[in-house]
Amino acid sequence: MMNTIFTPPLYIQRYEFVIDFVKKNKPKKVVDLGCNDCTLLRKLKFHKEIELLAGLDIDSAVIRDRMYDLAPIPTDYLQPGDHPLTIELYQGSVTERDPRTKGFDLVTSIELIEHLQLEDVDRFTEVVFGYMAPVAAIISTPNADFNPLLPGLTGFRHYDHKFEWTKAEFQTWALKVCREFGYMVAFTGVGQIPAQEESIGFCSQVGVFQLDRSGGDAPRLQSNVTEEHLPYRLLYNVVYPSLCDSNIFQRTLVNEVLYWAETLKREWLEETRGVGEEESEQTDEEEGCSREGMEREESQTGEEQADRERMEAGGRGFEVENEEVEGEGRTDMRQEEPYREGQSVCVPLVRLCSSPRVQALSGTVQCLKKFLLEDSRVKLTNDGTAVVLADSDDEDLEWDENCDNTGTGQFLVSSVENEDWETELGQ
Ligand SMILES: C[S@@+](CC[C@H](N)C(=O)[O-])C[C@H]1O[C@@H](n2cnc3c(N)ncnc32)[C@H](O)[C@@H]1O
Ligand SMILES: [Mg+2]
């Protein structure tokens, strides 16, 4: 009923209120008490600053209902985020203390307290503000003063509500919390009817509590439970892949480098083949001379043009002009093109940095070199300035031990890597 008179619906406005707070305050650890089917958690999951997102509800069935919607999706593996994210869902009561809920930056309790008996509200108050002691807490509950404006409402707004507080009652409770536990509170809310009497306030009243650090340490409740006592039951726990994990970082960078190097190689082979055909009537093509062909400015194709545009779009891609690149000191754009060495094609690291993603991951050519030197899946030239690839269009078929002049079998390894991905993604 309530939702029909507000646009967007009242429950959405409550979630948006929390999301706006998160955007402004960037908490790293957030726990939602009375998380129900995790709707708010699903929205918060996209806020990159959050590193630990927890949910608690007394009703395990309602959590289980959609908890797997919080699982990482294939994109999370293919493009891991910069920040770590752990999600934990617990079944338990807000009236009990569990050490896993301590140390949070933000506790949210949206339309929960009115479902508790009043004596349990006292326990909730002690647990949240005395024991969990978050930096901030957002508590929302119906505003009984607003009820006369709700068409057709007799009694409470929901059959399970044990009480509905007026503005004055909510504020009395909140100010007592502040005094006892060392918090400051701001009163606000969501859901207003235009031209309503201002004194009535919002349909859902909200208290935003902030730990008051001005007066030193606030009094904290002594816990009479041992820290080993874990009354909440962990129902679901997932750690998202992130670039903070060095294995994931390395794998992401190598995949990106191999993909981009193969793309550049293929484009370059197509271009040199075109040049080769033009020149074939005049000269016998020798191995190693294709690079000269590429240096012919007039041979620029549409793809090369696109490449150069990509390089420019990469912005920092060619800061390498200021960097010392070991070996030949390549600073000439033309010398950054792939070149042939025996049966291999070498793609300069400088050129690979024209991929904005490779650039963003590695930072500089020197760092890229360092990362790749540590990885057996990538073969570098002796001077470490270029990635060595098999000189063929279909490396899976043709890059066998006979043509692997590097002895690393790098593409066999990298295709195993691809199979790993498929297993991981369940494809
Ligand atoms: C009205 S729903 C609100 C759900 C959600 N916060 C939202 O805004 O959409 C109240 C939730 O609190 C949960 N709940 C009730 N008593 C609880 C308790 N003692 N401890 C933890 N959760 C409780 C209920 O199971 C229910 O999911
Ligand atoms: Mg309610």
Query: Which bound ligand lies closest to the C-alpha atom of 123?
Result: 1
pLDDT value of position 198: 81
Read off the pLDDT band of 323 (50, 70, 90).
very low
The residue type at 5: I
Q: How far is the CA of 27 from the centre of ligand 2 (A)?
A: 26
- Between CA 308 and CA 294 the distance in angstroms is 14
Question: What would the two tokens of residue 165 be?
Answer: 């507080």
pLDDT value of position 249: 95
Q: How far is the CA of 141 from the centre of ligand 2 (A)?
A: 7
Q: CA dihedral in degrees (4, 7, 11, 17; nearest 10)?
A: -160
- Between CA 158 and CA 164 the distance in angstroms is 10
Q: Whose C-alpha lies nearest to ligand 1, atom 8?
A: 110
pLDDT value of position 29: 98
**Which ranges in the chain are annotated with CATH 3.40.50.150?**
2-239
pLDDT value of position 99: 97
- Between CA 326 and CA 101 the distance in angstroms is 52
List the shell of residues around ion ligand 2, using CB closer than 5 Å: 111, 158
Q: How far is the CA of 194 from the centre of ligand 2 (A)?
A: 23
Q: Is the CB of 271 under 6 A from ligand 1?
A: no
Are the CB atoms for 45 and 232 separated by under 8 Å?
A: no
pLDDT at 228 over 70: yes
Q: Whose C-alpha lies nearest to ligand 1, atom 4?
A: 36
pLDDT value of position 335: 62
Read off the pLDDT band of 195 (50, 70, 90).
confident
Would the CA dihedral through 309, 314, 319, 320 be positive or negative? negative
Cβ neighbours around 313 below 10 Å, total: 10
Q: Is the CB of 94 under 6 A from ligand 1?
A: yes
pLDDT value of position 157: 96
Q: How far is the CA of 110 from the centre of ligand 1 (A)?
A: 8
Q: Any long-range contacts for 114-123 (C-beta under 8 Å, 24+ apart)?
A: 114/141, 114/142, 114/156, 114/158, 114/161, 114/162, 114/163, 114/164, 114/165, 115/34, 115/160, 115/161, 115/162, 116/162, 117/162, 118/162, 118/163, 120/95, 121/173, 123/94, 123/95
Q: Is the CB of 242 under 6 A from ligand 1?
A: no
pLDDT value of position 300: 40
Q: Whose C-alpha lies nearest to ligand 1, atom 13?
A: 34
Of 73-87, 96-110, 312-326, 329-343, highest mean pLDDT: 96-110
For residue 330, CA distances in Å to 63, 241, 324, 349 come to 58, 36, 9, 11
Q: How far is the CA of 219 from the centre of ligand 2 (A)?
A: 31
Read off the pLDDT band of 216 (50, 70, 90).
low
pLDDT value of position 219: 55
ipTM over 0.95: yes
pLDDT value of position 307: 40
- Between CA 359 and CA 378 the distance in angstroms is 17
**Got the DSSP string for 7-60?**
SS-HHHHHHHHHHHHHHHH--SEEEEET-TTSHHHHHHTT-TT-SEEEEEES-H
For residue 213, CA distances in Å to 28, 76, 258 come to 19, 38, 51
Q: Return the best residue to mutate from 65, 113, 115 for the ligand 1 pocket (most ligand atoms within 8 A of CB).
A: 115
Q: Whose C-alpha lies nearest to ligand 1, atom 14?
A: 34
Tokens 């002690």 appear where? 126
Ligand 1 nearest-atom number relative to CA 158: 1
Are the CB atoms for 50 and 84 separated by under 8 Å?
A: no
- Between CA 26 and CA 15 the distance in angstroms is 16
pLDDT at 165 over 90: yes
- Between CA 406 and CA 399 the distance in angstroms is 11
Which residues is 31 bridged to in the sheet?
A: 54, 107
pLDDT at 214 over 70: yes
SS3 234: strand
For residue range 35-69, what is the model confidence (pLDDT) as tens digits? 999 999 999 999 999 999 999 999 999 999 999 99
pLDDT value of position 193: 82
Q: Is the CB of 12 under 6 A from ligand 1?
A: no
For residue range 135-144, what is the model confidence (pLDDT) as tens digits? 999 999 999 9
Query: Which bound ligand lies closest to the C-alpha atom of 91?
Result: 1
Q: What's the average model confidence in pLDDT over 378-403?
A: 71
- Between CA 263 and CA 7 the distance in angstroms is 49
Q: Is the CB of 111 under 6 A from ligand 1?
A: yes
Q: How far is the CA of 211 from the centre of ligand 1 (A)?
A: 24
Ligand 1 nearest-atom number relative to CA 95: 19
Are the CB atoms for 105 and 136 separated by under 8 Å?
A: yes
Q: Whose C-alpha lies nearest to ligand 1, atom 17?
A: 58
Q: How far is the CA of 112 from the centre of ligand 1 (A)?
A: 5
Tokens 């630990």 appear where? 52
pLDDT value of position 273: 82
- Between CA 184 and CA 214 the distance in angstroms is 10
Q: Whose C-alpha lies nearest to ligand 1, atom 12?
A: 34
Are the CB atoms for 219 and 206 separated by under 8 Å?
A: no
Q: Return the best residue to mutate from 3, 11, 112 for the ligand 1 pocket (most ligand atoms within 8 A of CB).
A: 112
Q: Is the CB of 115 under 6 A from ligand 1?
A: yes
Note the CATH number of domain 2-239. 3.40.50.150
Burial of 318 (0-12, 13-18, 19+ CB in 10 A): buried
Q: Whose C-alpha lies nearest to ligand 1, atom 18?
A: 93
